[in-house]
């Protein structure tokens, strides 16, 4: 019975539609400076750690530049017709920027930049879509619980400290509807359009990644010491 429970739990977790970070690109945490001659008897250039590897957090503001989709693969159940697909593709970054603004506003005041705007403080969040695949609703109806017809979303995210002119976080995200069938959930569409759910899941994941304590597991309403 215990084995069956473990199997059922693992199957449920695997079937959940979600986005995960698949790769993180380490930003440089060091800077260059000149040694003071009167203290060290030398002027050779050395490297030193500026913040002991402490991650950036709590920005004054967050700015979003709609993600580039020029080089993305765009396919699957995305539009009512082939002729409409270019329009859906062009509007996907707009939709995602709105989702991302709503999620990142939980961390700091957030706004989406216009084409001719550039931020002066806080963080700039930008990136690109690599794959937007809405999957196949008919396949999800019959064999969705086995992975047929699943949607996919791949994107690259870059977060820059505007004042320091430094990339502080850079990572890839991947996910989709996974093993969802035709019933769907709060995080998956079932027989509906899957990409809006994937975009929302991706925006939420980015917010969680950039939050120091996203789930507040250690929060207490009162403290009792024994």
Q: How is the chain split into domains, by residue range? A: 17-27+58-210
Q: Which residues contact 67 (CB under 8 A, 6 or more apart)?
A: 93, 96, 97, 126, 127, 128, 129, 155
At 225 the pLDDT is 59
Task: Confirm if 69 and 129 have CB atoms less than 8 A apart.
Answer: yes
- Range 20-40 average pLDDT: 60
pLDDT of residue 223 exceeding 50, the answer is: yes
- If DSSP codes are grouped into helix, strand and coil, which group holds residue 88? helix
- Lowest-pLDDT range of 4-8, 17-21, 116-120: 4-8
pLDDT bucket at 96, cuts 50 / 70 / 90: very high
At 87 the pLDDT is 93
The pTM (predicted TM-score) of the whole model is 0.76
Helices 195-210 and 85-104 meet at what angle, rounded to 10? 30
At 122 the pLDDT is 97
At 153 the pLDDT is 93
CATH topology of domain 17-27+58-210: Rossmann fold (3.40.50)
pLDDT digits (tens, 9 = 90+) for 116-160: 999 999 999 999 999 999 887 766 755 455 555 678 999 999 999
């Amino acid at each position: 019975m215990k084995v069956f429970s473990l199997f059922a739990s693992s199957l449920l977790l695997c079937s959940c539609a979600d986005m995960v970070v698949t790769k993180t690109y380490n930003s440089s945490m060091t800077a260059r400076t000149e040694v003071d001659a009167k203290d060290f008897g030398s002027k050779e250039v050395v490297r030193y750690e500026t913040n002991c590897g402490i991650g950036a957090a709590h920005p004054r503001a967050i700015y979003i530049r709609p993600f580039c989709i020029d080089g993305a693969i765009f396919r699957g159940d995305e539009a009512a017709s082939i002729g409409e697909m270019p329009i859906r593709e062009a509007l996907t970054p707009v939709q995602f920027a709105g989702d991302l603004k709503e999620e990142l506003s939980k961390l700091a005041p957030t706004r989406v930049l216009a084409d001719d705007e550039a931020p002066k403080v806080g963080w700039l969040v930008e990136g690109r879509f690599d794959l937007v695949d809405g999957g196949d609703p008919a396949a999800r109806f019959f064999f969705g619980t086995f992975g047929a017809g699943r949607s996919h979303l791949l994107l690259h995210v870059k977060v820059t400290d505007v004042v320091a002119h430094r990339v502080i976080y850079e990572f890839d995200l991947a996910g989709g509807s996974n093993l969802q069938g035709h019933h769907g959930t709060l995080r998956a569409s079932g027989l509906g359009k899957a990409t809006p759910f994937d975009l929302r899941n991706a925006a939420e994941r980015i917010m969680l990644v950039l939050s120091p304590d996203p789930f507040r597991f250690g929060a207490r309403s009162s403290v009792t010491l024994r």
